């Protein structure tokens, strides 16, 4: 099965299971005569509403992003947790205002019976789908095109494992060999292991992914080739691809790597899913709520800012500039103009400096209070940005910095933000050293991203604004 088709079948199975579970609950509550009622409740509408509720709920718990190699035990445990929490939400939503009578007490008890029906039927449907998946994968149907990075014992072990266990869902397209420093390069063609050939080198990865529709990259580099891992990650930036690596024994023993075992074979995900679906939904909800409140409540102040900008210097009120967003997508960033009009007309793209002479008198105060960033709340509403994230940069600087700083493009894996951990901890970029320092903070944020960390950064930003500690 292809990934999208698998998703459709899983959603359909869950939808059917949820409907059947409600029919059984309805029969138990109404048709058995155990619970008295004055008016027989409707069947179809509540059944469809609850089925839609469970589909959305399962999506928020990430139950539709599991691959065929995912442990069935882990899937069932996640399913169990999601149903328990979902039942608690339903319990309080439906019965919170009810008077406690014998009839209602029985109804409350039966909702847990509904939970048993839900878990049993949904789990049965999913296990059936996984069984069919395994049979199809064993027949070579639905495997995902995969390349193996490395030309070493580790890489050969990965290849042998995939051939031995077709139910992992990988189909090897070929090997990608790393560069060999200090020695003569190995030929790109003519090398093969058990019928699998070398098809290119690390710089060829983007074109290979496009040509062969690669969905997974498995990395089998020797301990002496770890510097190549950064090159692999840089080549994969901006592409929807899963990367897993065989960890060193030291990583396993020291606990420095999160290991998943597949048929007893250790693999570590290099760039795992950054946020769980429910956290991503909560983060987006916070973006929309805060941005709407600030833009609407602050209208009188924004009008004063507009008049001050027009009075202080010639030129437009708003400053628009192309920036790179998530996955390198270009968008228009909006700001209140704080510099003279066409400030970079002669100099070209340059970083802002402390006491920058191009900044207008009004712009100086806007920057100190961070009010020049307010129009970017429109970018947040449009989905180009988030409240919190790495600051968006121009393509010119991204391409330039990516050559000098490893992992710089990793910042493009999340939506850029109006504020961020780097902005709270460091000043504006004035030199390459500032960029390197802020990249550390950005990478820390990306690897630890959560709505709780977003709240912490927002409160820190508010503190800086109130004290007027913004960079001018």
pLDDT per position as a tens digit, 175-216: 998 866 544 455 555 678 888 888 888 888 989 998 998 988
Helices (H), 298-392: 299-312, 361-368, 376-382
Q: Which of 11-25, 310-324, 376-390, 423-437 has the lowest mean pLDDT?
A: 423-437
229-278: pLDDT as tens digits: 878 887 887 677 888 887 664 454 444 445 555 555 667 776 666 677 78
HSE-CB of 173 using CA atoms within 13 angstroms: 20
322 — pLDDT class (breaks 50, 70, 90): very high
- The verdict on 167 and 227 lying in the same domain is yes
- Pick the range with the lowest mean pLDDT from 31-40, 47-56, 343-352, 372-381: 343-352
Q: Does residue 333 sit in the same domain as residue 371? A: yes
Looking at the fold, whether 8 and 116 belong to one and the same domain comes out as yes
Question: Do 307 and 399 lie in a common domain?
Answer: yes
Question: Where does 34-101 show beta strands of DSSP type E?
Answer: none
pLDDT value of position 254 = 41
pLDDT for res 34: 63
> Per residue in 216-227, pLDDT tens?
898 888 767 767
State how many domains the chain has.
Answer: 3
Most confident range (mean pLDDT) of 106-115, 181-190, 326-335 is 326-335
Position with higher pLDDT, 37 vs 461: 461
Query: Is 80:119 a contact under the CB 8 Å cutoff?
Result: yes
Q: Are residues 377 and 418 in the same domain?
A: yes
Domain boundary among 217, 241, 269: 269
- Look up the CATH number of the domain holding residue 186: 3.40.50.720
Most trustworthy range by pLDDT among 39-48, 89-98, 384-393: 384-393
* 427: nearest Cα among 368, 467, 385: 368
pLDDT for 147-165, tens place per residue? 999 888 888 988 888 888 8
Task: Identify the pLDDT of residue 144.
Answer: 87
Q: Is 472 inside any structural domain?
A: no
Establish if 194 belongs to a structural domain.
yes
Mean pLDDT, all residues of the chain: 80
Domain that holds residue 208: 144-269
Closest residue by Cα to residue 469 from 362, 367, 372: 367
Q: How many CB atoms lie within 10 A of CB 318?
A: 13
């Amino acid at each position: 099965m292809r990934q999208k088709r698998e998703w459709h079948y899983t959603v359909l199975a869950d939808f059917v299971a949820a409907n059947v579970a409600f029919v059984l609950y309805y029969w138990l509550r109404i048709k058995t005569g155990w619970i008295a009622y004055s008016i027989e409740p409707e069947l179809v509408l509540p059944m469809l509403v609850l089925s839609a509720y469970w589909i959305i709920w399962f999506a928020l718990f990430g139950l539709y992003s599991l691959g065929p190699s995912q442990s069935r035990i882990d899937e069932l445990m996640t399913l169990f947790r999601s149903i328990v929490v979902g039942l608690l939400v339903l319990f309080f939503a439906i019965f919170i205002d009810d008077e406690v009578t014998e009839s209602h007490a029985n109804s409350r008890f039966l909702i847990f019976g509904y939970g048993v029906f839900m878990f049993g039927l949904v789990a049965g449907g999913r296990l059936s789908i996984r069984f069919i998946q395994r049979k199809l994968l064993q027949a070579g149907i639905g495997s995902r095109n995969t390349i193996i990075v490395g030309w070493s014992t580790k890489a050969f072990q990965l290849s042998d494992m995939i051939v031995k266990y077709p139910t992992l869902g990988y189909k090897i397209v070929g090997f990608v060999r790393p560069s060999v420093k200090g020695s003569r390069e190995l030929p790109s063609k003519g090398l093969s292991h058990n019928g699998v050939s070398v098809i290119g080198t690390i710089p060829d990865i983007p074109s290979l992914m496009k040509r062969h529709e690669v969905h997974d990259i498995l990395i089998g580099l020797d301990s002496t080739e770890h510097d190549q891992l950064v090159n692999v990650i840089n080549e994969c930036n901006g592409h929807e691809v899963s990367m897993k690596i065989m960890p060193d024994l030291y990583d396993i023993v020291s606990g420095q790597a999160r290991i998943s075992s597949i048929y007893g074979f250790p693999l570590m995900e290099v760039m795992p899913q950054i946020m769980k679906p429910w956290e991503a939904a909560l983060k987006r909800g916070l973006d929309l709520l805060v941005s709407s409140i600030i833009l609407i409540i602050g209208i009188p102040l924004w009008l004063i800012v507009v008049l001050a900008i027009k009075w202080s210097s010639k030129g437009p009120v708003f400053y628009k500039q192309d920036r790179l967003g998530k996955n390198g997508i270009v968008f228009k960033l909006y700001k209140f103009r704080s510099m003279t009009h066409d400030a970079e007309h002669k100099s070209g793209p340059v970083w802002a400096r402390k006491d920058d002479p191009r900044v207008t008198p009004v712009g100086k105060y806007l920057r100190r209070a961070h009010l020049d960033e307010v129009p970017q709340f429109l970018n947040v509403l449009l989905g180009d940005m988030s409240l919190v994230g790495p600051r968006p940069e121009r393509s010119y600087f991204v391409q330039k910095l990516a050559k000098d700083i490893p992992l710089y493009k990793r910042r493009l894996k999340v939506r850029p933000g109006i504020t961020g951990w780097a902005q709270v901890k460091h000043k504006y970029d004035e030199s390459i050293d500032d960029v390197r320092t802020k990249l550390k903070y950005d990478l820390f944020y990306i690897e630890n991203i959560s709505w709780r960390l977003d709240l912490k950064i927002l409160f820190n930003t508010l503190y800086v604004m109130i004290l007027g500690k913004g960079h001018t």
